[in-house]
Amino acid sequence: MPVTSTDNPHSLLYGLANGSVKALEHDEAIAANKTLALQLQSRLEDFWLLNSPDGLWGAKSARALNAYKHFQNLSEPGINPHIAASLLNTKPTDLIPGFQLNGDWPSRTVMWINLHNQQISTNGNKGEINIVYFRGLDRKGEWNGNAPFIWNDRRCVLVIKDKAPIFAGNWLATCDPGEYYWDNPMNQEGCADIKAWQYQAWSVGHHHGSTGDQLALVQTGDITVLRGSDRLPDEGNNFSVDQHTTNNPDGDGFGEPVKGWSAGCMVGASSNEHYHEFMSLVQADPREKNAPGKYQHWTTVINGNEFLDIFPG
**Chain-centre distance for alpha carbon 31:** 29
What per-residue confidence (pLDDT) applies to 182? 96
SS3 for 113? helix
Q: Are 32 and 58 within one domain?
A: yes
Q: Are 207 and 302 within one domain?
A: yes
Judge whether 187 and 227 are in contact, CB under 8 Å: yes
Q: Are 123 and 162 within one domain?
A: yes
How many whole angstroms separate alpha carbon 23 and alpha carbon 62?
A: 16
Q: Are 211 and 185 within one domain?
A: yes
How many whole angstroms separate alpha carbon 93 and alpha carbon 107?
A: 9
Q: Which of 306, 299, 305 is nearest to 175 (CA)?
A: 299
Q: Are 64 and 150 within one domain?
A: no
Q: Are 180 and 56 within one domain?
A: no
Give the end of a domain, one of 90, 118, 133: 90
Taken in order 245, 248, 250, 255, the sign of the CA dihedral is: negative
Does 96 reside within a domain? no
Give the end of a domain, one of 90, 114, 129: 90
How many whole angstroms separate alpha carbon 254 and alpha carbon 148?
A: 12
Does 95 reside within a domain? no
Does 4 reside within a domain? no
Q: Are 49 and 76 within one domain?
A: yes
Q: What is the pLDDT along the chain (313 residues), one digit of tens a residue?
A: 443 334 577 899 999 999 999 999 999 999 999 999 999 999 999 999 999 999 999 999 999 999 999 999 999 999 999 999 999 999 999 999 999 999 999 999 999 999 999 999 999 999 999 999 999 999 999 999 999 999 999 999 999 999 999 999 999 999 999 999 999 999 999 999 999 999 999 999 999 987 679 999 999 999 999 999 999 999 999 999 999 999 999 999 999 999 999 999 999 999 999 999 999 999 999 999 999 999 999 999 999 999 999 999 8
Residue-range definition of the domain harbouring residue 21: 11-90
In sequence order, the 6+-apart residues with CB closer than 8 A to the CB of 8 are 14
**192-194 β-sheet, strand order:** 192-194, 223-227, 232-236
Q: How many domains does the chain have?
A: 2
Give the end of a domain, one of 90, 115, 137: 90
pTM confidence score: 0.95
Does 18 reside within a domain? yes
What per-residue confidence (pLDDT) applies to 212? 76
Does 6 reside within a domain? no
How many whole angstroms separate alpha carbon 139 and alpha carbon 152?
A: 9
User: Which CATH number fits the domain that encloses residue 86?
Assistant: 1.10.101
